Structure 1
Amino acid sequence: MNAPAPLEIIAMAFSLTTLRVDGSPTPALCVDDRYWALADIAPEVLQPEPSRGLMNVFGHWEHSEPLLVAAAERLASAPPLPAPHSLEDVLTPLQYPRKLVLTGANYYDHMRGDAGHSDWDKESKAPLFFLKPPTTTLVGPGRTVRYPEQTAKLDYEIELALVIGRKARHLTLADAMDHVAGYTVAVDLSARDWQRDPRHLVKFDLFGGKVFDDSCPLGPGIVPARYVDHDDLRLRFWLNGELKQDAHTRDMIWSIPEQLVAITEHLTLEPGDIVSTGTPAGVGLATGQWMCPGDLMEAEITGLGRLTVEITK
């Protein structure tokens, strides 16, 4: 982690994920690549609705977080789960949030380089937001992204995503971060030929370009905000082993508090909702290199792990 913190705090850092165990989604806590089922080490956090998994945990985050921190301190004497057999056994962490809000055009290098706006400035602009349907766009690691046959220009965007831990409406810059429970890695996939379709009434289509099935890989786990310095995280994305994106969250145009204030001016964010905070430069839009079936995507953010996803037919 980049954030300064006492060594004992860093040592017990953990993430929350959902594994497939005996065919069933199983919420788990992960430390140093070892997993423990929450039902075994902190069953209280799954109440009152264990079937909701981590959605129940984030739905009562102020109650859940101290119990999870205490459980992480006791893990030395608790037997872990067997390691996942394959990437597909690590599911998207949340099954499923009510809302998935994404921010577009939120890194200076992406706007001035990839998008070609050399004179772009923040003062005369407003942030761009859009929604993806969580139940059909969120996928976890592995061979989970089916190539969208309607596009010939499939593109990638690594993003830092956050999970809401408290109901939020009309936030201020002073209180916005109090509502963030944790962070994870997201990849916002785009169909650029639809996104910039000249047939569209305004020549720009965030429906056809963004909301197709499997268009938001997420994971591998969610790291509580207490362990994350969100202002100084390194984002890196590889396509078939070639580094394509390499940037830091400090280069965002609108900070995370500014994004949350702008979003909650219009809608209520609920516990478990995900906000994805935009991508830096290096996407295929700038190079004309589009993805195809068989391509391997690897997205990594400081302290949050690596999300590895393959595109299938």
Structure 2
Amino acid sequence: MTFALATLRVDGAPTPVLSLDDRSWALADIAPDALRPEPSRGLMNVFDHWERTEPLLVAAAERLAAGTDTTPPLPPSATLEEVLTPLQYPRKVVMTGANYYEHMEKDGGHTDWEKDKKIPLLFLKPPTTTLVGCGRTVRYPEQTEKFDYELELAVVIGRRARKLTPDNAMEHVAGYTIALDLSARDWQRHPRHLVKFDLFGGKAFDDSCPLGPAIVPARYVDEDDLRLRFHLNGELRQDANTKDMIWSIPEQLVRITEHVTLEPGDVVCTGTPAGVGLGSNRWMKPGDLLEGEITGLGRLTVEIVEDRV
């Protein structure tokens, strides 16, 4: 049995749900205690109290799977208006760049370096303006002519974390979901930038981080052996495994918490494998359909549209 947590818009309101076997139940109906003490915060409240709420959710899923809880699932899509980002909204979205060996070799041209002499590339995206839910649209950033994609495994934090160690880092991970790190490469490497490298213009623009469709608890995920596949307009562009990460998830969390405290609900995106447009000089445009899949986490789909504003 595996379940996932998502946020759907139901009858006009963001609704935290538990999904099991292609059906979804409102947490308020099957595990109301998991939403306390602040039900209005949805899944953010659940992850704020993950040590207490996870057993409640597991028990609810087991009852549903066994048929001992006969609460009806949410009705079909006529009532479910849209899939929102699972978390409304995390305090931080931390990104790790340049974290797959093949990506560094094929897309970055880096073949002769030693990990022990390097540190990971870390940066932030603003959650309330960059996160986009599954099935939604992404506005094309008109300032760029080199719009690129990066499929990434995203980690959701379940316990406050500061100065982590390799031995305790994974105790702070609550679950996993899928992210797309969308990039404006000509701004990321802008020739007029003082140091010719800009992660603000290149990475932090509006709609640059689709996330979802749901969060799967860590107990059901083997994060060291997950297949990542990304399709652009049906064409397979990325196909890799998390085994190819340069810095493991514990190593990333240790490095991040040297600088900032990770809080419950924070999202850490762990880097992308080879196959991005940067390596082939093939860029995205309005009308393109983006589809990212990771083993056991579902499929994240968004479409690029022109920015009408």
Residue deviations 1:145-186, cap 9 Å, x none?
111111111100000001000000000000000000000000
The 8 Å contact of residues 97 and 121 in structure 2, kept in 1 or not, is answered as yes
Report what 1:137 is aligned to: 130
Q: Which consecutive residues of structure 1, in runs of 5 or more, have no partner in the other structure?
A: 1-11
The 8 Å contact of residues 154 and 290 in structure 1, kept in 2 or not, is answered as yes
The secondary structure found in structure 1 opposite 2:187 is helix
Root-mean-square deviation (Å):
1.1
The 8 Å contact of residues 11 and 81 in structure 2, kept in 1 or not, is answered as no
Indicate yes or no: 2:111 matched with 1:118. yes
Q: Distance in 1 between matches of 2:284 and 2:78?
A: 27
Indicate yes or no: 2:41 matched with 1:14. no
Q: What's the offset of the Cα at 1:122?
A: 1.1
Report what 1:191 is aligned to: 184
Report what 1:48 is aligned to: 37
Structure 1 stretches of 4+ with a deviation exceeding 4 A read: 85-88
Query: Quick one: structure 1 residues 306 and 88, their matched pair in 2 at CA, closer, same or farther if it must change by over 3 Å?
Result: farther
The secondary structure found in structure 2 opposite 1:142 is coil
The 8 Å contact of residues 160 and 186 in structure 1, kept in 2 or not, is answered as yes
The 8 Å contact of residues 108 and 279 in structure 2, kept in 1 or not, is answered as yes
The secondary structure found in structure 1 opposite 2:200 is coil
Query: What is the TM-score of this pair, normalised by structure 2?
Result: 0.96
Report what 2:278 is aligned to: 285
Q: What's the offset of the Cα at 1:140?
A: 0.5
Report what 2:58 is aligned to: 69
The 8 Å contact of residues 87 and 141 in structure 1, kept in 2 or not, is answered as no
The secondary structure found in structure 1 opposite 2:299 is strand
Deviates more, 1:79-88 or 1:61-70: 79-88
Q: What's the offset of the Cα at 1:136?
A: 0.3
From 272, 286, 295, the equivalent of 1:302 is 295
Map of 1:200-211 to 2, 5 A cutoff? 200-211=193-204
Q: What's the offset of the Cα at 1:102?
A: 0.4
Q: Distance in 1 between matches of 2:126 and 2:99?
A: 21
Q: Distance in 2 between matches of 1:294 and 1:237?
A: 17
The one-letter code of the counterpart of 2:202 is G
The 8 Å contact of residues 92 and 266 in structure 2, kept in 1 or not, is answered as yes
The secondary structure found in structure 2 opposite 1:209 is helix
The one-letter code of the counterpart of 2:95 is L
Report what 2:172 is aligned to: 179
Count of residues paired in the alignment: 302
Residue deviations 1:131-154, cap 9 Å, x none?
000000001112321111111111
Q: Distance in 2 between matches of 1:164 and 1:247?
A: 24
The secondary structure found in structure 1 opposite 2:128 is helix
Report what 1:89 is aligned to: 82
The one-letter code of the counterpart of 1:73 is E
Q: Which consecutive residues of structure 2, in runs of 5 or more, have no partner in the other structure?
A: none
Query: What is the TM-score of this pair, normalised by structure 1?
Result: 0.95
Q: What's the offset of the Cα at 1:85?
A: 4.5
Report what 1:23 is aligned to: 12
Report what 1:3 is aligned to: none
Q: Distance in 2 between matches of 1:184 and 1:107?
A: 18
Q: Distance in 2 between matches of 1:71 and 1:57?
A: 14
Q: Distance in 1 between matches of 2:114 and 2:101?
A: 8
Report what 1:109 is aligned to: 102
Residue deviations 1:53-82, cap 9 Å, x none?
000000000000000000001123221002
Report what 1:7 is aligned to: none
From 122, 125, 141, the equivalent of 1:148 is 141
Query: Quick one: structure 1 residues 87 and 239, their matched pair in 2 at CA, closer, same or farther if it must change by over 3 Å?
Result: farther
Residue deviations 1:181-237, cap 9 Å, x none?
000000000000000001111110000000000000000000000000000000000
Residue deviations 1:220-266, cap 9 Å, x none?
00000000000000000000000000000011000000000000011
The 8 Å contact of residues 25 and 91 in structure 1, kept in 2 or not, is answered as yes
From 47, 50, 63, the equivalent of 1:58 is 47
Indicate yes or no: 2:208 matched with 1:219. no
The one-letter code of the counterpart of 1:289 is R
